[in-house]
């Protein structure tokens, strides 16, 4: 199977479970892509897992059942201030580098779920900055224009996803570092509630505020990663258990900046895109409410223009005092500012932070979620060279307050300006609403209808000498519900020129359930070993590999593509469903299939 340009989790996982793709296939393709992309941007990676280790990891996974691992074979990148055993941790400062004895807790959890670490990515040194320009390992650039910054501090992590090199990546987010690079590279950046992802094994920036964040092609992928990686950890001093809180998702109120307070630093195109984003969210059921941004702006100033800079110094104080000359000049200057504050100033700042938290908490009485620009505009590398502090401050205008006020956030793409540069918005909500936040942000992103990351400007072509309709690498796919002929989703098969090969039955040990609240109505197929039924009607279609890959990419959770056994004993690809979700519906096995069930309704 040919890998799609953007390596989203669902199609890769489904292909692995269907047996049309292996972890070895994935790591070989990813390694080739990483090498090829280095010619465009050599600053994305600081270190990479050697090929022999990647192949050994893939071989290890191939001994395990793919169905049991939620991230089986999924490649990911790690910001180089998070420990990965076997690779140095540099925090983008060679003099600081060390060899960790063990991986960070989040890495252990992701690897246990089947994910594959590809390497460590570049960052603003000690995660101090939003520009992606403060590293001796080079400066990654925006995937759409090399004259513009990638955003930071999680610069390499965002580019690795946007360029289609990995399925997801880990960044960190203290002041917006998991959101600004997402906006500048047309991907999703999910900043979990503080403490939900363990920071054990993370080089701290501001330990009381730091969050490990997730970059991905979709909010659903990012949430899947958060679910796998998140867990309480007594070794992380600010660890917390995710105690889920809900958001209204059908009709809801969302806070927006008043028109006279929308700051885009003169970029009229971004102002128009923000107005369009508001209208789009209204179409999804939202009612806009004007936001008083003043308390949030005051909170943001505490982080860099106030006493909280002292916590940045506390994180690396011994190294700072012995190696100040080895630090990036701008990062060093920021930490030098800590000397201007006393312990009394720090406590005054903490008291003001808590007073502002009280004000912010009352805001949620007026709306359910905020919709803000992720950044006023993207800046050029030259602007950062000329004004490193001012350019950085501009990028944090709408991000710095979020962790200080204990909120969750999800940055998603929101369109492109006429100059071809991306714009993004961020959904902000109360702590512990992470799942519903990702769901709402994902609905907005899907409604945008844009390709993800650099795929927006890429035009993949069939290999030389091979037509798209080539008979090589064709796949048989069994459909059991809404994709049957005459049903609402059959057009997706027609779009891929799928050919009906036979109408037949499954093996007798399958059950079929009508899923609750599915739109359009659809069933879930589950195999129950030991059950003996009459089999269920399926239609078996033939698609070429590329068409199959595109089709699989459209399959939403809780569905996946796996192997289905037919009545004649033959195995083909087919729709499977999470058993827990399926069994929450109505058992319709006795009807013999979805067509018969719908005809009798």
Let me know: does 533 contact 573? Beta carbons within 8 Å. no
Residue 216 domain flag: yes
| Shared domain check, 538 and 418 | no
Model confidence over 332-347: pLDDT tens digits? 999 999 999 999 999 9
d(CA 438, CA 331): 32
Please give the average per-residue pLDDT across 532-552, as a whole number: 85
Give the pLDDT band of residue 94 (cuts 50, 70, 90): very high
**Which strands form 475-479's sheet, in the order they lie side by side?**
499-505, 537-543, 475-479, 571-577, 559-565
Residue 460's pLDDT band, with cuts at 50, 70 and 90, is very low
Domain co-membership, 370 together with 238: yes
Backbone angles phi, psi at 344, to 5 degrees: -65, -40
Q: What is the pTM of this model?
A: 0.78
Spatial contact of 216 and 409, defined as CB atoms under 8 Å apart: no
Same domain, 546 and 435: no
pLDDT score for 404: 97
The rounded distance, in Å, linking the Cα atoms of 330 and 390 is: 11
In what helix (H) or strand (E) does residue 523 lie, and over which residues does it extend? strand 523-527
CA distances in angstroms from 385 to 337, 551, 576, listed in the order given: 20, 45, 53
User: Does the residue 58 lie in any domain?
Assistant: yes
Cα–Cα distance measured from residue 131 to residue 154, given in angstroms and rounded to the nearest whole number: 9
H helix intervals, 396-470: 401-404, 434-448
Helices 388-395 and 329-336, axial angle in degrees (round to 10): 80
Domain that residue 141 falls in: 9-303+348-456
261 and 365 fall within a common domain: yes
Instruction: Say yes or no to pLDDT of 551 above 70.
Output: yes
Statement: residue 596 has pLDDT above 90 = no
Closest CA to 395 of 122, 121, 148: 148
Residue 49 pLDDT exceeds 80: yes
DSSP state of 66: G
Strand 499-505 with 407-416, pairing: unpaired
* Non-local CB neighbours of 599 within 8 Å, separated by 6+ positions: none
Residue 97 lies inside a defined structural domain of this protein: yes
- Choosing from 411, 427, 456, the residue where a domain stops is 456
pLDDT of residue 459: 39
Query: Which of 151, 220, 138 shows the shortest CA–CA distance to 185?
Result: 151
Q: Which residue has the higher pLDDT, 96 or 566?
A: 96
Angle at which helices 51-61 and 23-37 cross, to 10°: 150
Query: Is residue 382 within a helix (H) or strand (E), and if so which, with residue range?
Result: helix 381-386
Residue tagged active-site, from 79, 191, 381, 522 = 79
Mean pLDDT across the chain, nearest whole number?
Answer: 92
State the alpha helices, DSSP H only, in 488-563: 490-495, 545-553
Q: Which of 157, 177, 198, 239 is catalytic?
A: 177
Q: Is residue 258 part of a domain?
A: yes
Q: Which token pair is 596?
A: 């018969």
* Peptide bond between residue 160 and the one before it cis (omega within 30 degrees of 0): no
Query: Residues 198-210: what's their mean pLDDT?
Result: 97
> Of 135, 153, 167, 560, which one is the catalytic site residue?
153
Angle at 468 between CA 463 and CA 474, to 5 degrees: 105
Residue 3 lies in a domain: no
Confidence of residue 461 (pLDDT cuts 50, 70, 90): very low
**171 contacts 211 by C-beta, under 8 angstroms:** no
Residue 509 and residue 372 in one domain: no
| Cα gap 168→227, rounded to integer Å | 14
Please enumerate in sequence order all residues whose Cβ is within 8 A of that of 132, keeping only pairs 6 or more positions apart, or say none: 122, 123, 124, 139, 140, 149, 150, 151, 152, 153, 155, 156, 181
| Beta-bridge mates of residue 98 | 89
131 pLDDT higher than 80: yes
142 and 14 in a common domain: yes
Name the domain boundary from 456, 489, 514. Answer: 456
Buried-state track 515-527, b at ≥16 Cβ within 10 A, e below 16:
beebeebbbbbbb
Give the number of other Cβ atoms within 10 Å of residue 91's Cβ: 29
- Count of structural domains within the chain: 3
Tens-digit pLDDT profile for residues 1-26: 678 889 999 999 999 999 999 999 99
Examine the domain organization and report whether 491 and 425 are in the same domain: no
For residues 290-314, average pLDDT: 91
Assign 470 a pLDDT band (cuts: 50, 70, 90): very low
- Residue 147 sits in the same domain as residue 257: yes
Predicted local confidence at residue 471, as pLDDT: 34
Share of the chain above pLDDT 70, in %: 97
Domain with 487 in it: what CATH number?
Answer: 3.10.490.10
pLDDT tens-place string over residues 117-129 = 999 999 999 999 9
Q: What's the CA gap between 423 and 184, in Å, rounded?
A: 7
Predicted local distance difference test score (pLDDT) of residue 458: 61
pLDDT at 472: 41
The HSE-up count of residue 505 (CA atoms within 13 Å, CB side) is 15
- Examine the domain organization and report whether 439 and 523 are in the same domain: no
Q: What DSSP string describes 319-370?
A: HHHHHGGGS-HHHHHHHHGGGG--HHHHHHHHHHHHHHHHHHHHHTTT-SEE
Does 119 lie in the same domain as 44? yes
The answer as to whether 371 is a domain residue is yes
Closest CA to 29 of 18, 43, 16: 16
Q: What is the pLDDT of residue 550?
A: 80
Statement to judge: residues 223 and 334 lie in one domain: no
On whether the CB atoms of residues 594 and 512 are closer than 8 A, the answer is yes
Q: Examine residue 466 and state whether it is found in any structural domain, yes or no.
A: no
Q: Which of 316, 347, 378 is the last residue of a domain?
A: 347
**Cα–chain center distance at 314:** 30
Nearest C-alpha neighbor of 149 from the set 127, 170, 168, 124? 124
Question: How far, in Å, CA of 207 to CA of 169, rounded?
Answer: 21
Residue with tokens 């505490």: 302
- Dmax (CA) for the chain in angstroms is 78
Q: What is the pLDDT of residue 568?
A: 82
Between 560 and 225, name the one with better pLDDT.
225
* 3-state SS, residue 569: coil
Whether 239 sits among the annotated catalytic residues: the reply is no
Helix (H) or strand (E) run with residue 412 in it: strand 407-416
Domain with residue 43: its CATH number is: 3.90.1300.10
DSSP 591: G
- Residue 499 belongs to some domain of the structure: yes
pLDDT exceeds 60 at position 195: yes
| 216 CB-side CA count, 13 A | 24
C-alpha torsion sign, points 215, 219, 220, 224: positive
Q: Find residue 571's DSSP bridge partners.
A: 565
Q: What is the pLDDT of residues 371-428, one digit of tens each?
A: 999 999 999 999 999 999 999 999 999 999 999 999 999 999 999 999 999 999 999 9
312 and 287 in one domain?
no
CB 34 within 8 A of CB 164: no
DSSP secondary structure string for all residues of 199-256 = -TTB--SSTTT-EEEEEESSHHHHHHHHHHH----TTSTT-----------SSEEEEE
79 is catalytic: yes
């Amino acid at each position: 199977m040919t890998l799609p340009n953007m390596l989203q989790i669902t199609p890769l996982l489904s292909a692995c479970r269907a047996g049309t793709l292996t972890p070895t296939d994935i790591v070989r393709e990813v390694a080739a892509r990483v090498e090829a992309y280095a010619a465009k941007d050599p600053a994305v990676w600081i270190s990479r897992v050697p090929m022999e280790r990647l192949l050994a990891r893939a071989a290890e996974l191939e001994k395990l059942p793919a169905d049991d691992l939620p991230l089986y074979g999924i490649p990911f990148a790690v910001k180089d201030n998070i420990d990965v055993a076997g690779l140095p941790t540099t925090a983008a400062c060679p003099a600081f580098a060390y060899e960790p004895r063990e991986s960070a807790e989040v890495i252990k959890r992701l690897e246990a779920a089947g994910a594959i670490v590809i390497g460590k990515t570049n960052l603003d040194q000690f995660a101090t900055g939003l520009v992606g320009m403060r590293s001796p390992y080079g400066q990654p650039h925006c995937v759409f224009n090399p004259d513009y910054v990638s955003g930071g501090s999680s610069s390499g992590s965002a580019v690795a996803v946007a360029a289609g090199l990995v399925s997801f990546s880990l960044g960190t987010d203290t002041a917006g570092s998991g959101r600004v690079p997402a906006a500048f590279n047309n991907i999703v950046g999910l900043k979990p509630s503080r403490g939900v992802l363990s920071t054990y094994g993370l080089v701290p920036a501001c330990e009381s505020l730091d969050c490990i964040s997730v970059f991905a092609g979709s909010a659903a992928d990012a949430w899947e990663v958060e679910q796998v990686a998140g867990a309480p950890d007594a070794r992380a001093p600010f660890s917390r258990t995710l105690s889920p809180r809900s958001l209204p998702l059908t009709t809801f109120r969302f806070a927006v900046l008043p028109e006279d307070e929308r700051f885009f630093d003169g970029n009229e195109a971004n102002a128009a895109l923000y107005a369009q984003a508001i209208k789009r969210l209204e179409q999804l059921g939202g009612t806009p409410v004007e936001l008083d941004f003043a308390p949030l702006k005051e909170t943001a100033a505490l982080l860099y223009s106030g006493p909280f800079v002292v916590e940045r110094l506390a994180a690396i104080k011994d190294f700072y005092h012995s190696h100040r000359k080895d630090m990036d000049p701008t990062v060093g200057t920021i930490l030098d500012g800590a000397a201007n504050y006393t312990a009394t100033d720090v406590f005054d700042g903490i008291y003001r932070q808590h007073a502002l938290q009280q004000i912010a908490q009352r805001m949620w009485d007026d709306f359910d979620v905020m919709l803000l620009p992720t950044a006023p505009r993207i800046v050029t590398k030259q602007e950062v060279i000329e004004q490193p502090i001012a350019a950085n401050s501009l990028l944090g205008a709408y991000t710095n307050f979020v962790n200080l006020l204990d909120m969750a956030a999800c940055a998603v793409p929101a369109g492109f300006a006429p100059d071809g540069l991306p714009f993004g918005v961020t959904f902000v909500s109360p702590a512990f609403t992470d799942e519903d936040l990702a769901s709402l942000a994902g609905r907005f992103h899907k409604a945008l209808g844009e390709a993800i990351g650099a795929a927006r400007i890429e035009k993949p072509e069939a290999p030389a000498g091979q037509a798209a309709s080539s008979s090589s690498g064709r796949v048989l796919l069994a459909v059991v519900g809404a994709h049957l002929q005459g049903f609402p989703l059959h057009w997706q098969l027609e779009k891929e020129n799928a050919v009906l090969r036979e109408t037949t039955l499954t093996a007798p040990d399958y059950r079929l359930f009508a899923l609750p609240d599915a739109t359009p109505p659809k069933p879930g197929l589950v195999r129950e070993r030991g059950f003996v039924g009459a089999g269920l009607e399926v239609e078996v279609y033939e698609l070429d590999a590329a068409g199959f890959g595109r089709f699989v990419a459209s399959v939403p959770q809780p569905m996946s593509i796996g192997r289905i056994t037919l009545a004649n004993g033959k195995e083909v690809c087919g729709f499977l469903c999470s058993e827990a979700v399926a069994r929450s519906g109505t058992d319709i096995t006795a009807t013999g299939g979805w067509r018969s069930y719908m005809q009798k309704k």
